[in-house]
Structure 1
């Protein structure tokens, strides 16, 4: 998120889906390669016996061991259930998405797609041959040149299937342009992310200093004084935006810092304190009712804050102080 806000000023949903699905896909494929993990005590195989360097052995095995007969339809279903058929098919299918991602999002040509698919498949086979990077005393799966051939074919097929993704989905340039346009307006999610960064930046030295000054005082000073210089905190500068006021800049900056501290620290901590105090005397019906009311207010406060951010509405402390946010991302 930080990278996207710094580069584009926004987090594009389609880009996020593509990249995270790509990472999830690679993790899934990797786990298919290494799992299930066996008991190391049961591994007695050597490196030479767990490698096949003869290409297209799968073709010879299919001809010899598979019951498929072209002119006999009764054998077709049986042939699909044999490892000599479905293992090569699954090896091809496994890297078809990889080829699609490379062509559509990463803009790779056919040669690069084949090359990257070959390297990825080689990485998988070396992982198997090394016994999961020599964690095991020997390989527990066969490292097969045929797997590399089949995977590479899959990547090539994915490249051609990626033609449909290129035609049907927005291009990467269109995604970037949309992200830049959205980044001209500072979203509340961007603001809240900068606040979390600022809180973390403050909290670490606060703990290290072991000062007796309450943290809310530390927070109020930080958000009231730091933006006086150029309208930015460390978090907002990192995400490339600042605060702007039409008039009374100094007064409104300090006011915003105080309101922000009250909103995010004093109100929640005060409600939690009251909830805890009422809970101590829960035998009394009055205190039990007060406990329920206070806890409900705390929950509603959190929900209202979340909904305000999700629907990109100004939070209360910004409304009261008249804060306007300005993005500094350059197109």
Structure 2
């Protein structure tokens, strides 16, 4: 029976890096937006919670049938509606004699007992996370644990919501009771945990965000969001097959918009940062000198290279242009890497514009 548990756990750990990678961008956005920075304990707990949910889901769902066209389950009904049926199963299978304590250890070898224990412990961490991290009350923990268990049971009895021809596991009302009990036990156990770890609602007390440095990770998230928003407009302007369309879109978004909003774009607004100049109000000259070389000049050179108009140039011109553009890209990448590891030096566009980033 232990082997049947190790199989799904190994899959959960194997796929966790992929899930963590997909989880990172939403995690960073929420943390920057809600708290203004990334706290290591908060981040570690959220990734641990993700790993737990993956393990719980895989333990419930795996192994899957070998084919979508699976056989119906060998049972008269696909739903077990009798509460506490597991007690009768344990009594029927047990080799325990009530007046002989030496036989009690037989419970550890009996399927029905181990299955009940598994269903309880499956959601104990869920209740602990709800109370310690999310600061949930017992009613919310009760409903959330019941909801999680119901999700597991419905997913199984519907054959992954119709993906398989027949259910490959039964819907068991006892699983709902035991999983919900486990969540509440975790809620109680979290009281002991809370007394030995920092309170989640006190992590940001006495924090001065104005003194924190804006990391390049945070800038990168903002830039990613900006280009995700801007890309559809660039694709629309791309119908004109001219680099001029790119220059217009970028000028409006990275010059006009930050000037009008005092250093904010959509991405910077989401992660709560802005470009700051030498005065409380960002000057037009500062934003032009900062974003012009980066987005208009450097970006414009790339837009020209991939434009339809550029393809009409002589091949020798295209070749030298590509070599020169590649050299510029290498220099920019190396320059930004050196600034990544040097907090005292600004990247070239901030140095030219006399600007910096601040947390809002």
TM range (shorter): 0.7 to 0.9
Instruction: Give yes or no for contact 1:9–1:183 (8 Å, CA) kept in 2.
Output: no
The answer for the alignment partner of 1:203 in structure 2 is: 231
Matched, 1:58 2:86: yes
Instruction: Give the superposition deviation at 1:107.
Output: 2.2
The answer for the alignment partner of 1:323 in structure 2 is: 355
Which of 208, 211, 223 lines up with 2:254 in the alignment?
Answer: 223
The answer for the alignment partner of 2:165 in structure 1 is: 137
Instruction: Give the superposition deviation at 1:216.
Output: 6.7
CA root-mean-square deviation: 3.9
Instruction: Give yes or no for contact 2:70–2:164 (8 Å, CA) kept in 1.
Output: no
Which of 10, 19, 31 lines up with 2:37 in the alignment?
Answer: 10
Give runs of aligned pairs for residues 1-331 of structure 1, distance below 5 A: 1-38=28-65, 39-45=67-73, 49-68=77-96, 71=100, 73=102, 76=105, 79-177=107-205, 181-182=208-209, 185=212, 187-188=214-215, 189-210=217-238, 211=240, 212-213=242-243, 215=246, 219=250, 222-235=253-266, 236-246=268-278, 249-261=283-295, 265=299, 300-301=334-335, 303-304=337-338, 306-307=340-341, 314-328=346-360
Measured against aligned partners, the alpha-carbon deviations of 1:296-319 in whole angstroms (never above 9, x if no partner) come to 8677446435545xx696433223
Structure 1: distance between partners of 2:118 and 2:301: 57
Structure 1: distance between partners of 2:190 and 2:354: 49
Measured against aligned partners, the alpha-carbon deviations of 1:190-230 in whole angstroms (never above 9, x if no partner) come to 22322233333333322211241265786467434433333
| Structure of greater relative contact order (alpha carbons < 8 Å, 6+ residues apart) | 1
Q: Which moved more, 1:13-22 or 1:297-306?
A: 297-306
Q: 1:112 to 1:240 in 2, by over 3 A?
A: closer
The alignment partner of 1:55 has SS state of: coil
Structure 1: distance between partners of 2:329 and 2:297: 17
Q: 1:118 to 1:197 in 2, by over 3 A?
A: closer
Measured against aligned partners, the alpha-carbon deviations of 1:33-81 in whole angstroms (never above 9, x if no partner) come to 22222134332238852322223232232233233457465872x5423
Measured against aligned partners, the alpha-carbon deviations of 1:142-179 in whole angstroms (never above 9, x if no partner) come to 2222222221221121111111231122223213447x
Instruction: Give yes or no for contact 2:210–2:358 (8 Å, CA) kept in 1.
Output: no
Q: Which ranges of structure 2 fall in alignment gaps of 5 or more residues?
A: 1-27, 304-317
TM-score of the aligned structures, taking structure 2 as reference length: 0.70
Number of residues paired by the alignment? Answer: 308
Instruction: Give yes or no for contact 2:275–2:355 (8 Å, CA) kept in 1.
Output: yes
Instruction: Give yes or no for contact 2:275–2:357 (8 Å, CA) kept in 1.
Output: yes
Instruction: Give yes or no for contact 1:223–1:233 (8 Å, CA) kept in 2.
Output: no
Measured against aligned partners, the alpha-carbon deviations of 1:268-311 in whole angstroms (never above 9, x if no partner) come to 99xxxxxx979x99xxxxxxxxx9x9998677446435545xx6
Instruction: Give yes or no for contact 1:47–1:129 (8 Å, CA) kept in 2.
Output: no
Structure 1: distance between partners of 2:97 and 2:210: 61
Instruction: Give the superposition deviation at 1:256.
Output: 0.9
